[in-house]
Amino acid sequence: MSKVTVIIDNQEVQVPADYTVLQAARSNNVHIPTLCYLEGINEVGACRMCLVEVEGARGLQTSCTLKVSDGMVVKTNTKKVREARKATLELLLSDHDRECLTCDRNRNCELQTLAEELGIKDVAFEGEKNVSYEDTSSPSIVRDPNKCILCGRCVGVCNDVQKVGVLGFTNRGFDTVVGPAFDKKMDEIPCINCGQCIAACPVGALKEKEEIDYVWEAIEDDNKHVVVQTAPAVRAALGEEFGLKMGTRVTGKMVAALRRLGFDKIFDTDFAADLTIMEEGHELLDRLQNGGKLPMITSCSPGWIKYCEHYYPDFIDNLSSCKSPHEMLGAVIKSYYAEINDIDPKDIYVVSIMPCTAKKFEADREELAASGYPDVDAVLTTRELAKMIKQTRVDFVELPDEDFDEVLGESTGASVIFGATGGVMEAALRTVAEVVTGEQLEALDFEQVRGTKGIKEATVNLNGTEVKVAVVHSTGQASKLLDQVKSGEKDYHFIEVMGCPGGCVTGGGQPHIKPEDRFKKDVKAERAKALYNEDKSKKIRKSHENPMIKKIYDEYFEKPNSHKAHELLHTHYVKRENYPLDK
């Protein structure tokens, strides 16, 4: 790529010729404020916060949309620029619910940060305000239009990345609102609950529906045996909430914090990920050997499952019948664990700590109640767990590392990589390859399915049989791939789909990321690195070699895909009405 010379705030810099002024500035550590801009998602210049002066240009320019040119002279911090930004921000604040102390994003709000940076002490444009109802109808997502600044970032990610398209701009002028069409509530639209809109929102207009109070109530109930489980991706991001570097693995500290919160048992969802590989791997082999429906598609991501039910119901029979790992573990806790410990399942309260808002919806599904009670009683996001830890005033960073409780806390390296795109596929291949060939793999790392490319393909030789696999992340990319399969352009045996870009490590319930960090870092790769490092550190890296997995099959399930395993560990999916004919 050719480069051009640009002068930014009296500094001569060399940048790629296809850069915008904003990209040129950020790549040279010049901070230009933004609100509507989110790289790769929303680049429309609507909020006017990124205005700069350009020599020879008439008026101020939006740096996020203006391309650089050779010899361009840019000023990012003149009096004219500062006054324009301040006036724009005051206008936004004039129609904003400014109850910051009680806002979910207090001290972690981009609007609040900019107001402080620009020295806004009062709002000069007080006047009429739009007042709307807070929509709490969804089991996963709360939408508060009173805090919306009309930046459009949620619209961009919903429409252009996830290809769900349930959020948009309605009305005009002062009456403009971002939300579902026709003033529908969140539970009346085919939202998949992925929470990527929450991850994109710069303020508190979108947030997860909190269940913290229910969990505290259960912990303090002497009649409840409260068991908590943590997903793989949580350990790769939780530390960010306490000031640790992105990608810092905090597995031991997380367990220590959970013990101090008062949970009776602390298990690792990774154990159930190993269980999932046993069930899903043998299900794949059965389909390959006995003419089952192909390609088989993974079912770990509830946002993807709901997307399939709404938008691609023709592929429902292709979905693996396996429950997602945390639902499997919930079912095992309320059956096997309850029996060996002589606890009535009705007295067990299972809490899942997840990087995902869609898991909240999933836990409410009627079919996920193998014991007669919900497999999982409450789902907390990574952000909610951080809030609970902060409520206890525990010094998270100084906590010693502790281990998960035994039996259902034992896991392998294969299970921990479930949190990254390609991880489920790689874990499955490690087991399926050895089951089919009867031989030990020389190399366990399937590099061809790793990385953050939107769609990855590979062909694996299983004892003379060529198995074609694909890995895809984000429902937008899944849509593209499924259309290719439907048309006959692509042909696979096994497909891994993760509903969120990058997989669970960047799920809708993970810590919020500053726009500047999105530009400087590959967040998906940084967090995934923590999981791959934990995989490498494990003594056992294949699911079928987990001694506790062998134990539970010997004592309880007999073998993968047995009748009892199907009763507890498998489920079914449904075609959901009200899905649009035209995506």
**What residues are labeled active site?**
280, 283, 300, 320, 359, 362, 367, 504
Residue with tokens 């943590």: 230
268 in Cβ contact with 409 (< 8 Å) = yes
Q: SS3 of 494, please?
A: strand
Q: SS3 of 261, please?
A: helix
Strand partners of residue 38: 42
Nearest to 286 by CA among 21, 567, 494: 494
Burial class of 387 by CB neighbour count within 10 A (0 to 12, 13 to 18, 19+): middle
Residue with tokens 């207009």: 205
Nearest to 151 by CA among 178, 128, 116: 178
Q: Which two tokens stand for residue 209?
A: 């529906």
370 in Cβ contact with 410 (< 8 Å) = no
Q: SS3 of 159, please?
A: helix
Instruction: Concatenate the DSSP letters of all residues of 213-259 into one string.
Output: HHHHHHHT-TT-EEEEEE-GGGGGTGGGGGTPPTT---HHHHHHHHH
Q: Around 403, how many Cα atoms within 13 Å sit in the side-chain half-sphere?
A: 7
Q: Around 489, how many Cα atoms within 13 Å sit in the side-chain half-sphere?
A: 7
Residue with tokens 């400087």: 520
**DSSP state, residue 437:** H
Nearest to 141 by CA among 199, 95, 182, 202: 199
Question: Cα separation of 354 and 344, whole Å?
Answer: 25
Q: Which two tokens stand for residue 370?
A: 């193998």
Q: Which value, to the nearest 10 degrees, does the dihedral of the CA atoms of residues 122, 127, 130, 134 take?
A: 40
Burial class of 372 by CB neighbour count within 10 A (0 to 12, 13 to 18, 19+): exposed
Question: Cα separation of 72 and 538, whole Å?
Answer: 53
- Walk across the sheet containing 465-473 and list its strands: 296-297, 494-498, 465-473, 455-462
Instruction: Concatenate the DSSP letters of all residues of 506-561 into one string.
Output: G-TTSPP--HHHHHHS-HHHHHHHHHHHHHHH-S--SGGG-HHHHHHIIIII-STT
Question: Cα separation of 451 and 522, whole Å?
Answer: 11
Helix and strand numbers, DSSP H then E, in the chain: 20, 17
